[in-house]
Structure 1
Amino acid sequence: MTILEMREKRNKAWEAAKAFVETKRDKDGLLSEEDAKTYAAMEQKVKDIGAEIDRMQAMEEMENALNKPVNTPIVAKPMKADGNEKAKTGRASDEYREGMLKALRSNFKQVSNVLQEGVDADGGYLVPEEYDNRLIDVLDQENIMRKLATKITTSGEHKINIAATKPAASWIEEGGALTFGDATFSQILLDAHKLHVAIKVTEELLYDNAFGLENYIITQFGKALANAEEDAFFNGDGVGKPLGLFAENGGGQIAETLTAAIKADDIINLVYALKRPYRKSAAFIINDKNIAAIRKLKDNNGAYIWQPSAQAGEPDRLFGYPVYTSAYAPENAIAFGDYKYYNIGDRGTRSFKQLVELFAGNGMIGYVAKERVDGKLILPEAVQILKLKADTAA
């Protein structure tokens, strides 16, 4: 008897058991003792048939496993995918990427249907996801704040709740009255400020397939965006651009303003001006021009306080804390703090746009990359600023 026949037999036995119960109920809906025993036997038969079906299925699976060949012949070509990889769709698909390159090289005269999902009201096209990811990689390499800060992708105005005042504990006598404090909260708003970069490409270069046009555009756009971002993340005033880490209003807290040349003790005072919880993940940010003056500082034993990195790719250290340098950090200040409290909000995705008519007379094509980004230090006490004397770097 097959498994299918056994299943049909089980169904018939179960239907018979249900029909027996319905015909044998008394006026109270109960079964007599004899009928209950009969139904129990019918129910047990259904269970026994089910157990037999399970046994037959297990035997069939065992038989199939034993009948499989020990060695499976190779039928696919070497290095060919096994077909289990999930096909990329949308802007991540190979078709979209190829369509974008084709559109770039044809001055957007040959636009395939695959690009339609990236069309906006102004005739722009969303950057394919591979471009966007590599553009982010370039920004991370060129921009130290993107490495240190907290990055958020936003779709609208992003509000961050901040505890303005915190409740404090107090001692009371046994049976004494409780005192209640107020916990108040404020909000930091991450908006979206527009940043763009434009380049011109000759038509000859555009049609030259041997030239790495894709990598050239990504690299140039990435460097330009990264430089503009880092300048704003450090020095921005929050008007049409992010609010910088060194901003007078909304930036880090001023720990001290020096009136003489910087000394090793001033660095120590800066470290301990930062509260202990923030010091665990703290680092220095210094302008490149001030490095020479800092590296010459010595402790009371005559040893240099600067600690060169012992491993390639790792930052140098100052009193055990990492040191990051940037040409965009102000020359008259040193920052020390936990930069995870600087939030960078990326609004949406980056986009390309071509400018055909603007440079047509010169035989060139213009391209524009745009992004919308904001940045703010949400806890000023997490970063302490040491203001330097004007001639410190000298």
Structure 2
Amino acid sequence: MTTATMTSAPEVKAVPDTVTAAFEDFMQAFEAFKEVNDQRLGEIEQKLSADVVTRDKMERINRTLDEQKAALDQLVLKKQRPALGGRAEAGPEVSEHKAAFDAYIRRGDEAGLRALEAKAMSIGSGSDGGYLVPSETDSEIGRRISVVSPMRALSTVRTVSGAVLKKPFSTTGLATGWVSETAARPQTNAPVLSELSFPTMELYAMPAATQALLNDAAVDIEAWLASEVDIVFAEQEGDAFIRGDGINKPKGFLTYPTVADDSWSWGNLGTVATGATGAFAGTNPSDVLVNAIYALKAGHRQAASFMMNRKTQGEIRTFKDADGNYLWRPPQTAGQPATLMGYPLAEAEEMPDIAANALSIAIGDFRAGYLVVDRAGVRILRDPYSAKPYVLFYTTKRVGGGVQNFEAIKLVKFAAS
């Protein structure tokens, strides 16, 4: 192996200050990855095995790609977070609510919020669970979560005022038939309806602050509160939407019953096997991805996305098509997802690693397939007594979720059959 053919693995650089610089570093790492992987494939073709140095180099570059992609995602996320304070053109009602809420958070003064809720004929009060946060803070928490959690961003989200959303779903359409002009018209069969129920569960966080911090007028209390709870809410939600058991939390799509896609029936999610236990098939490993794509009906296939974790994504990054083109493609621009075989790829660390019988890859029209249910409002209860000298802020929201269309999501199973 000559020095000219050797390609050094790029070092993991410090996180760049701008999204553009991070994206450029990521693309440079991907070009180095392709060069070393092509070298590895050439060695396999000539000597039936790749050089150990080449394999190690490619693994280092693969890890570098993952780390630089994570750094890029964090910079994009930070850039997409607008400031909570200083919003212009707020109406008088909004300004009044914000002022009253600020007085409650900083000093425990409930008078302003009590007057507002009485004016609005609201049933909420300090004695039965706290006060609603201003609409700006409520919507800002939701917006940040939609960026962090891929499931919330990909799924249908419904806001309800009750505790449970019940949704009828027609599993069969109306029966029809052809008749002549004068023939009798017998009554057709009615559609079969299935009622789906999505209860909302309570998700909570309890950040603490000193009274000195609350007394500091320079501190943006709403921004502080949102930054404390948004990430932890997003992490809990993201995990529940994928693998939650449905007990005091949403039901994740991976916990529903599964069957081989050839035997699919309503109430189950269809699976497509890789053909090898705990691995991709030894020959034509990408065939299972093609089979999973075409297991979806055309309408769902057009709006489909892949979902997997970082390790699985690293495994498929080496796959090529018959023409030698990589199936995994980097984002076209910063802030866009990578693609796999032309479909967007959402990275979710809650998806399982590749293992025997693991359901490590999902593909589907998640907007049609999964429903997230939000009960309107995020509530805050101020508690200055339980943890003196700290003031606790018991912050709650109610969230539910579950599969609403069992045809719209397919899973790749790492099994022989």
Whether TM exceeds 0.5 here: the answer is: yes
Task: Name 2:371's counterpart in structure 1.
Answer: 343
CA positional deviation for 1:235: 0.6
Q: Secondary structure at 2:378's aligned position in 1?
A: strand
Alignment pair present for 1:160 and 2:167: yes
Range 137-146 or range 166-175, more displaced? 166-175
In 2, the alpha carbon distance for the partners of 1:173 and 1:207 equals 83
Task: Name 1:97's counterpart in structure 2.
Answer: 98
In 2, the alpha carbon distance for the partners of 1:259 and 1:133 equals 46
% identity of equivalent residues:
30
- Give runs of aligned pairs for residues 138-177 of structure 1, distance below 5 A: 138-156=144-162, 157-169=164-176
In 1, the alpha carbon distance for the partners of 2:325 and 2:229 equals 44
Q: Which one of 358, 364, 368 corresponds to residue 386 of structure 2?
A: 358
Paired AA for residue 100 in structure 2: G
Residues 188 and 257 (structure 1 numbering): CA distance in 2 closer, same or farther, change over 3 Å? farther
State the Cα deviation string for residues 183-235 of structure 1 (Å, max 9, x = none).
21111112111111112222332223333433121012111111111111111
Whether contact under 8 Å (2:273, 2:415) holds in the other structure is no
Whether contact under 8 Å (2:157, 2:373) holds in the other structure is yes
- Count of residue correspondences: 300
- Give runs of aligned pairs for residues 226-241 of structure 1, distance below 5 A: 226-241=234-249
Q: Which one of 196, 218, 227 corresponds to residue 219 of structure 1?
A: 227
CA positional deviation for 1:388: 2.6
Residues 208 and 87 (structure 1 numbering): CA distance in 2 closer, same or farther, change over 3 Å? closer
Whether contact under 8 Å (2:202, 2:399) holds in the other structure is yes
Q: Which one of 306, 315, 325 corresponds to residue 303 of structure 1?
A: 325
In 2, the alpha carbon distance for the partners of 1:276 and 1:147 equals 22
Range 183-192 or range 325-334, more displaced? 325-334
Alignment pair present for 1:382 and 2:417: no
Alignment pair present for 1:131 and 2:132: no
In 1, the alpha carbon distance for the partners of 2:331 and 2:380 equals 40
Alignment pair present for 1:284 and 2:316: no
Q: Which one of 205, 212, 216 corresponds to residue 208 of structure 1?
A: 216
State the Cα deviation string for residues 145-193 of structure 1 (Å, max 9, x = none).
2211111111223221111222455567897776643421111112111
In 1, the alpha carbon distance for the partners of 2:225 and 2:90 equals 29
In 1, the alpha carbon distance for the partners of 2:114 and 2:372 equals 29
In 2, the alpha carbon distance for the partners of 1:251 and 1:183 equals 20
Paired AA for residue 237 in structure 1: D
Paired AA for residue 335 in structure 1: A
Q: Secondary structure at 2:207's aligned position in 1?
A: strand
Q: Secondary structure at 1:358's aligned position in 2?
A: strand
- Give runs of aligned pairs for residues 23-172 of structure 1, distance below 5 A: 87-89=91-93, 93-106=94-107, 108=108, 110-116=109-115, 117=117, 119-122=125-128, 124-156=130-162, 157-169=164-176
In 1, the alpha carbon distance for the partners of 2:222 and 2:233 equals 17
Whether contact under 8 Å (1:96, 1:115) holds in the other structure is no
Residues 170 and 259 (structure 1 numbering): CA distance in 2 closer, same or farther, change over 3 Å? farther
With normalisation by structure 1, the TM-score equals 0.70
CA positional deviation for 1:311: 2.0
Q: What are structure 2's unaligned runs of at least 5 residues?
A: 1-87, 118-123, 258-266
In 1, the alpha carbon distance for the partners of 2:206 and 2:146 equals 20
Give the number of the structure whose alpha-carbon radius of gyration is greater: 1
Range 287-296 or range 164-173, more displaced? 164-173
Paired AA for residue 151 in structure 1: V
CA positional deviation for 1:143: 1.4
Range 231-240 or range 170-179, more displaced? 170-179
CA positional deviation for 1:377: 1.2
In 2, the alpha carbon distance for the partners of 1:251 and 1:312 equals 37
Whether contact under 8 Å (1:100, 1:115) holds in the other structure is no
With normalisation by structure 2, the TM-score equals 0.66
Range 180-189 or range 192-201, more displaced? 180-189
